Structure 1
Amino acid sequence: MRLNFAFGGVCGSDMHYFEHGRVGDSVLRGPMVLGHEFSAVVDEAGAGVEGFAPGDKVAVTPALPCQRCDYCHRGLTNLCTDMSFMGSAARFPHCDGGFASALVVEARRCIRLPEVADLRHVAMAEPYAVALHAISMASDLAGATVLVTGAGVIGQMCATAARAAGAARILMSDIAPAALERARGLGVDEVFDAADPAAIAALTEAQRCDAVFEASGAAPALSTAIAACKPRGVVVQVGFLPPKAPVDFAKLLTREITLVGTYRFINEFAEAVRQIVAGEVDLRPMISADLSLDAPEAVFERAFDKAETLKVMVHF
């Protein structure tokens, strides 16, 4: 289908490609269109495409698993060994992203939306799907006390998803006072300054958390996450840790804590779209700026301003 771009969110991986030309082992070897969080409007459905018509609003998943590998056959499509993911340099030729005024995608990437759907809000579905998948890696959160380390957009979405899953109390830590202030405004119950040893001691000595979601990608935060977790609790690593990160694992053993990684999403993209369209969650307060892609330098300058910014939303 041929689509007209509506709105898109700037992700941390877009920022890494823009600044460094790589995300981990995914290195740019040629030009690539960025963007994997976006919504669009159908311009032309194309021959043989059913269920879509020009003018339809759509959410677009960036993930297209091969459906042939062992992991796809097991339903673990996020671990596909031949994944086509928009805006990613993991394979070559690279998979162009959605930050283009007009683009062509396979119809199976698209979810048709109601006419009244807020396309700006729906563009938040992909990162929210990441958060929903992270929540699925933990135990039942009904009535739980949950800690999220890292008050960035993924951390905030993990907090939102945990609340939607029934968590009774949400705690959050970060080293940036402005980020913690935003977290309070977004409904977090209690915040902790990760740069203050006394605050971290108060958080960890109580062993009060049933589940912890480490969303900062900082080694000290993972050590805090383990120390704050109850015996037989679970720590879900959401943020990418640097190689050879020094982490204190002692309490992982003595409390029999489960440490699990989480990567992208499986079928949570459709659920994220459903929750957004149904009004079950409101992620719009996390949008810090709406900027035009006609001025990309200004877009990324704002996105890199972590003191003032959660999610930068772009349009043409």
Structure 2
Amino acid sequence: MASIAVVAHAASDVRVEEVPEPTPAADEAVVAVAYGGICGSDLHYWQHGAAGESILREPMVLGHEVSGVVAVAAADGSGPAVGTPVTVHPATPDSYLGSAARLPHQDGAFATHVALPTRMLRPLPVGLDLRTAALAEPAAVAWHGVGQAGDVQGLRALVIGSGPIGALAVAVLRHHGAAEVVASDLHELPMRIAREVGADRTIDARDAEALAAVEADVVIESSGTLPGLHSAIRAARRGGTVVMLGLQRSGEVAVPIATAITRELRLVGSFRFVDEIDDVVAALADGSLAVAPVITHVLDAAAAVEALDVARDASASSKVLLRFAAADTAADDDPRG
């Protein structure tokens, strides 16, 4: 079977193309990709030809949320052996998989086979299937975001925006011992998913009065919208913390800063993650981090454009996965027994 990759060429121009097999460096292993999760940045490259200030200037393979099986071990002896199921930490010292921040761009991992530095690979514990492991990266983003609030044990938390990252933040808050978790969104599907992963109740995001009445100790703003940020600040109790996990648009934005000042709120940003993916993998493996409802669709990689179209409808989908050839051969059967 020919190797394929999902390549963004420009706005509204993503193609599934045949590509040559990768030639790994000595410290790289070749991974047969099983699943790849579509991220908001992938949608932005598809829809706008840019993700924030990262602008497509040449064709680029999309994708940074992936799991798979080592097909060729690294020649220098580092990293896992052939047949090891892995998930991927997509950061390099100066870039991220599937990023147009620099030129030449950093290709992503939406491909049948991809050569990756072994330092990026995280072997999966026995019992953690490849499908679930594709959520390790976005779950690490949520884990880092919750961590920015400090110890949430016994606190009341509110998550604004219950898309994939917001729903994962709900799951992490529940894992970390929050006493009450409330979630909001504009649509019923993401609110239902938030309840399934641990939210005690949900609130329609348009109900400003109900949100303000939460008076949360911690608010995780994951919608990345200006109304969401306004709601987050107004819903925090005096002395509370607002974590800005959703990425706001570039440039200046108007926020109710006087409210933040008079309530003595702590506003903190959160972007990607550092090494939290290791804790996430362990929590996914032992079942203490419940994420299964977040995956709503799995489509073959050959139907990547259709999958992108599904993923952009937040009212009808949460996390959409692409299924590559390795999912058929390795699938969710743990090769280690």
- Fold match by TM threshold 0.5: yes
Q: Does 1:191 align with 2:202?
A: yes
Distance 2:118 2:32 in 1: 14
SS of the aligned residue for 1:259 comes to strand
Instruction: Report how many residues are paired.
Output: 295
What secondary structure does 1:94 align onto? coil
> What is aligned with 1:308?
316
| Cα pair distance change 1:230/1:138, threshold 3 Å | same
Distance apart, 1:306 and its partner CA = 1.3
Q: Please give the alpha-carbon distance, in whole angstroms, between the structure 1 residues aligned to 2:317 and 2:143.
A: 22
Q: Which amino acid aligns with 2:241?
A: V
Instruction: Report percent identity of matched pairs.
Output: 41
> TM (normalized to structure 2)?
0.84
For 2:226 and 2:79, the matched residues in 1 are separated by 47
Deviates more, 1:104-113 or 1:177-186: 177-186
Instruction: Give CA-to-partner distance per residue, 1:32-89, whole Å, 9 cap, x none.
Output: 0000000111111131123521111111110112xxxxxxxxxxxxxxxxx2210011
Aligned to 2:332: none
Q: Which residue of 2 aligns with 1:127?
A: 138
- Counterparts of 1:1-316 in structure 2, within 5 Å, are 1-65=29-93, 83-196=94-207, 200-204=208-212, 206=213, 208-242=215-249, 243-316=251-324
* Offset, 1:231: 1.2
Aligned counterparts of 1:51 and 1:244: Cα–Cα separation in 2: 44
- The residue identity in structure 1 corresponding to 2:73 is A
- Judged with a 3 Å threshold, the aligned counterparts in structure 2 of structure 1 residues 239 and 51 are, in CA distance, closer, same or farther, namely closer
**Cα gap change, 1:50/1:183 in structure 2, threshold over 3 Å: closer, same or farther?**
closer
Following superposition, the deviation at residue 117 of structure 1 comes to 2.8
C-alpha contact (below 8 Å) 2:167/2:193 kept by paired residues: no
Letter in 2 for 1:10: I
Cα separation, 2, equivalents of 1:303 and 1:9: 10
Change (3 A) 1:2 1:181: closer
The amino acid across from 2:164 in the alignment is V
- RMSD of equivalent CA atoms: 1.4
CA contact (8 A) 2:99 2:105 kept: yes
Q: 1:147 to 1:55 in 2, by over 3 A?
A: same
> Could you say what secondary structure the match of 2:220 adopts?
strand
Which AA in structure 1 matches 2:223? S
Displacement of 1:246 after TM fit? Answer: 2.4
Deviation by residue 1:83-116 (Cα, 9 ceiling, x = unmatched): 2210011111111111000111111111122354
2: distance between equivalents of 1:167 and 1:46?
42
> Which segment is superposed worse, 244-253 or 16-25?
244-253
Contact conserved, 2:35 with 2:67, CA < 8 A, in 1?
Answer: yes
CA gap of 1:277–1:185, structure 2 versus 1, over 3 A, is closer
| Whole-Å separation in 2 of the counterparts to 1:22 and 1:309 | 22
CA distance in 1, matches of 2:267, 2:183: 18
CA distance in 2, matches of 1:267, 1:297: 31
Instruction: Spell out, residue by residue over 1:263-297, the C-alpha distance to the aligned partner (whole angstroms, 9 max, x if none).
Output: 10011011111111222212121100110111122
User: Aligned in 2, Cα 1:124/1:244: closer, same or farther, shift over 3 Å?
Assistant: same
Which secondary structure does the structure 2 equivalent of 1:105 belong to? strand
Letter in 1 for 2:53: D
Question: Where do 5+ consecutive residues of structure 1 fail to align?
Answer: 66-82
User: Counterparts of 2:297 and 2:52 in 1: how far apart (Å)?
Assistant: 27
Deviation readout 1:204-239 (Å, 9 max, x if unpaired): 1x4621000000011111111111111111000011
Change (3 A) 1:61 1:258: same
The alpha carbon displacement at 1:315 in A equals 1.2
Runs of 5+ consecutive residues of structure 2 not aligned to the other structure = 1-28, 325-337
Q: How far does residue 179 in structure 1 lie from its aligned partner after superposition?
A: 2.6
- In 1: Cα distance, 2:141 partner to 2:151 partner: 18
AA aligned to 2:131 is: R
Residues 65 and 134 in structure 2, CA contact (< 8 A), matched pair in contact too: yes
CA distance in structure 2 between the partners assigned to 1:286 and 1:153 by the alignment: 6
Counterpart of 1:230 in 2: which secondary structure? Answer: strand
Name the amino acid aligned to 1:306: A
